[in-house]
C-alpha cells in the first residue's frame, strides 16, 4: 500500500512490460510542477527520476534482465546501476566521467548514416519522442517536412534549412559521440548494427560473457522503407555531405548500390583513431576551412619563374626572415622552433624547406612588389608586416606548393597530399595563412589584387 502526504496524489509514471512500476511519484495537486517520490522510492539528485531505496545506485553490476525491458526502461535501469546520472539522451563519450568508467568495457553500435537519418525523420514525424522532442518537432518541422522525407532533407536540414545536424542530439554525427577531444576513440569496441549477430558474438568474446540472449531478443521494428527506396540522387548526395565524417571514419560506402555492405568488425582502436585524425584534416581542408581566391579566370602566365626547378609534391615550405627588432632570446626561440618544424614535417614524410627574402629576390617582380608594399600603412613592426607579404613572393619564386608557418606542425596531413581546389590559392585556417597552397602564378596574382 503506497501512501503520500496530504494533497499529494499518488501516480505511477511508467511501467515495464510486466506492469511493474519503474517510476512512481507523489505529485502536487497545485499542478505547479513540484513533485516528490512515493514512499519507498528516492529521488535522484541530478534528474527528475525515482529509484527504489533498496537499490544500490553505485552498483557495478548491470541488471541481468536488461534486454527484456523496453528501450526507455533499459536507459532508466542502466542509469540506476551506473550511479543515476550518466546514460540516456544520446550522450557523447565526452560527457562521461573518464575515471569512473575506466574499468568498464565500453562499446557502441554504429549504423549506416542513410538508414539512421531515415529513422530519425520517422521518429520525429510520428511524434515518438519525449516532450522535448515534441517541442523540437513543433518548432522545426512543417507538415510538409513530416510527410515527406525529401522535404525534410532538402528544406529542414542545413544548408537549405535552418537545422544543423551537429546541433541536434538525434541528428549529430556518430563519430562526434565516440571520439574524445584529442581525436582518440574513447571506447573499447565498435559493433555494427547491420551485422548484429556477429557483433554480439564479438562482444561476448571480448568480455568473456554469454550474451546470446541479445541475439535472440533483438528485432528491427521500423516500418519505413529502405535507403534505395527513400533517397533521390539529390538527397543522397546531401546526406553524404552532412555525414562525411561518419562515412570516412566508420567505413560505410557512399555508393547507394553498396548500401548493404557494412564495416569490418576487425578494425582496431588505433586504426579508427588514425582514420579519424586523417579524415578530420582531409575534410576540413577540402570542405570546411577553405577560402578560395576570387577572380582568377585570367592569369598572367609570365609570372612563371622558368629558372626554378620543381622539387615535387612532397615539399613543405616555411618562410623565416629575422627582423632587426628581435632580441637574442627571440631569435634563439625562433631557431629552436624552426628545428622542431623541420623535424616534425620530416618525420611525417615531407621534405621541409625554409625560404626567406633571399628566395623572394629571385622573382622578376621583387623590386616593384617590395616598393609597393613599403607604401602600405602597417599596425605591427614594418619589417614583420613586410615578411607577411614577401613570403608569397618567395613562394612564387620557388614554384608554389604547400607553405605553413614555422609554428604549425603536421597533424596527420597525409604526406604528398596534392593542393586542393585544382591548385587555386587556398588558405586552410579561415582568413589566415597558417597553412596554404597555391600554383606558381597564384601567389603573385593574389599580391597584385
What pLDDT, on the 0 to 100 scale, is given for residue 281?
Answer: 76
**Within this chain, do residues 405 and 431 fall inside the same structural domain, yes or no?**
yes
What pLDDT, on the 0 to 100 scale, is given for residue 439?
Answer: 59
In a domain, 5, yes or no: no
**Within this chain, do residues 188 and 335 fall inside the same structural domain, yes or no?**
no
More confident: 229 or 94 = 229
- Report CA 290 to chain centroid distance, whole Å: 17
Give whole-number Cα distances, 35 to 24, 42, 44, 92, 121, in Å. Answer: 10, 12, 13, 29, 33
**pLDDT tens, position by position, 373-398:** 888 877 777 888 888 889 989 988 88
Give the separation between CA 420 and CA 424, rounded to whole angstroms. Answer: 7
**Within this chain, do residues 116 and 262 fall inside the same structural domain, yes or no?**
yes
**Within this chain, do residues 257 and 321 fall inside the same structural domain, yes or no?**
no
- Whether 331 shows a pLDDT value over 50: the answer reads yes
**Within this chain, do residues 273 and 302 fall inside the same structural domain, yes or no?**
no
What pLDDT, on the 0 to 100 scale, is given for residue 171?
Answer: 95
What pLDDT, on the 0 to 100 scale, is given for residue 309?
Answer: 36
Residue 422: domain span: 297-448
Last residue in a domain, options 59, 88, 117: 88
**Within this chain, do residues 311 and 230 fall inside the same structural domain, yes or no?**
no
Are 175 and 244 in contact by the 8 Å Cβ rule? The answer is no
What pLDDT, on the 0 to 100 scale, is given for residue 374?
Answer: 82
Nearest residue to 403 (alpha-carbon basis) of 388, 385, 382: 388
- Whether 237 shows a pLDDT value over 80: the answer reads yes
Half-sphere exposure of residue 21: CA atoms within 13 angstroms, side-chain side:
17
**Within this chain, do residues 265 and 329 fall inside the same structural domain, yes or no?**
no
* Total domains in the fold of the chain: 3
What pLDDT, on the 0 to 100 scale, is given for residue 225?
Answer: 85
In a domain, 98, yes or no: no
More confident: 194 or 30 = 194
Q: Is the pTM of this model over 0.85?
A: no
**Within this chain, do residues 429 and 349 fall inside the same structural domain, yes or no?**
yes
Nearest residue to 357 (alpha-carbon basis) of 333, 332, 378, 374: 374
**pLDDT tens, position by position, 124-151:** 999 888 888 899 999 999 999 999 999 9
DSSP strand E in 119-193: where? Answer: 189-192
In a domain, 93, yes or no: no
**Within this chain, do residues 313 and 383 fall inside the same structural domain, yes or no?**
yes
Q: Average the pLDDT over each of 65-69, 220-224, 346-350 and give the range with the smallest value.
A: 65-69
Give whole-number Cα distances, 337 to 259, 323, 342, 401, in Å. Answer: 48, 16, 9, 22
- Omega of the bond prior to 159 within 30 degrees of 0, cis? yes
**pLDDT tens, position by position, 77-124:** 444 444 444 444 567 777 666 666 777 888 999 999 999 999 999 999
What pLDDT, on the 0 to 100 scale, is given for residue 104?
Answer: 84
**Within this chain, do residues 212 and 148 fall inside the same structural domain, yes or no?**
yes
The mean pLDDT value of the chain amounts to 76
What pLDDT, on the 0 to 100 scale, is given for residue 443?
Answer: 52
What pLDDT, on the 0 to 100 scale, is given for residue 301?
Answer: 35
**Within this chain, do residues 234 and 283 fall inside the same structural domain, yes or no?**
yes
What pLDDT, on the 0 to 100 scale, is given for residue 264?
Answer: 93
**Within this chain, do residues 113 and 255 fall inside the same structural domain, yes or no?**
yes
What pLDDT, on the 0 to 100 scale, is given for residue 41?
Answer: 73
In a domain, 1, yes or no: no
DSSP β-ladder status, 50-52 and 107-110: unpaired
Amino acid at each position: 500500500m503506497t501512501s503520500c502526504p496530504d494533497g499529494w496524489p499518488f501516480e505511477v509514471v511508467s511501467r515495464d512490460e510486466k506492469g511493474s512500476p519503474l517510476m512512481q511519484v507523489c505529485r502536487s495537486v497545485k499542478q505547479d510542477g513540484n513533485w516528490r517520490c512515493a514512499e519507498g522510492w528516492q529521488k535522484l539528485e541530478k534528474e527528475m527520476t525515482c529509484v527504489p531505496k533498496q537499490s544500490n545506485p553505485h552498483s557495478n553490476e548491470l541488471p541481468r534482465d536488461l534486454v527484456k525491458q523496453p528501450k526507455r526502461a533499459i536507459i532508466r535501469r542502466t542509469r540506476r546501476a551506473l550511479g543515476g546520472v550518466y546514460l540516456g539522451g544520446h550522450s557523447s563519450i565526452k560527457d562521461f566521467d573518464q575515471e569512473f568508467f575506466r574499468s568498464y568495457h565500453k562499446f557502441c553500435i554504429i549504423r549506416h548514416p542513410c538508414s539512421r537519418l531515415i529513422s530519425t525523420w520517422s521518429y520525429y514525424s510520428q511524434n515518438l519522442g519525449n516532450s522535448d522532442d515534441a517541442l523540437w518537432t513543433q518548432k522545426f518541422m512543417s507538415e510538409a517536412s513530416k510527410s515527406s522525407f525529401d522535404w525534410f532533407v532538402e528544406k529542414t536540414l542545413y544548408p537549405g534549412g535552418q537545422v544543423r545536424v551537429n546541433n541536434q542530439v538525434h541528428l549529430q554525427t556518430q563519430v562526434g559521440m565516440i571520439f574524445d577531444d584529442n581525436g582518440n576513440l574513447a571506447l573499447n569496441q565498435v559493433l555494427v548494427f547491420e551485422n548484429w549477430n556477429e557483433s554480439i558474438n564479438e562482444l561476448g568474446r571480448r568480455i568473456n560473457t554469454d550474451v546470446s540472449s541479445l541475439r535472440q531478443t533483438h528485432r528491427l521494428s521500423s516500418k519505413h522503407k529502405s535507403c534505395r527506396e527513400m533517397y533521390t540522387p539529390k538527397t543522397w548526395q546531401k546526406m553524404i555531405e552532412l555525414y562525411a565524417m561518419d562515412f570516412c571514419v566508420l567505413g560505410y560506402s557512399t555508393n547507394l548500390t553498396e548500401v548493404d555492405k557494412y564495416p569490418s568488425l576487425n578494425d582496431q582502436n588505433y586504426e579508427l583513431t588514425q582514420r579519424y585524425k586523417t579524415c578530420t584534416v582531409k575534410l576540413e581542408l577540402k570542405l570546411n576551412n577553405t577560402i578560395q581566391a576570387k577572380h582568377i579566370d585570367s592569369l598572367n602566365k609570365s609570372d612563371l619563374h622558368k629558372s626554378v626547378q620543381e622539387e615535387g609534391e612532397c615539399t613543405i615550405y616555411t618562410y623565416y626572415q629575422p627582423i632587426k627588432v628581435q632580441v637574442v632570446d627571440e631569435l634563439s626561440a625562433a631557431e629552436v622552433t624552426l628545428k622542431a618544424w623541420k623535424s616534425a614535417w620530416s618525420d611525417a614524410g615531407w621534405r621541409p624547406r625554409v625560404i626567406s627574402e633571399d628566395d623572394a629576390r629571385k622573382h622578376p617582380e621583387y623590386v616593384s612588389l617590395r616598393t609597393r608594399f613599403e607604401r602600405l600603412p602597417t599596425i605591427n613592426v614594418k619589417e614583420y608586416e613586410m615578411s607577411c607579404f614577401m613570403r608569397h613572393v618567395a613562394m612564387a619564386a620557388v614554384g608554389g606548393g604547400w607553405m605553413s608557418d614555422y609554428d604549425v606542425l603536421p597533424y596527420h596531413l597525409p604526406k604528398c597530399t596534392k593542393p586542393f581546389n585544382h591548385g587555386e590559392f587556398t588558405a586552410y585556417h579561415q582568413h589566415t595563412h597558417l597553412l596554404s597552397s597555391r600554383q606558381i602564378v597564384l601567389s603573385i596574382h593574389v599580391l597584385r589584387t
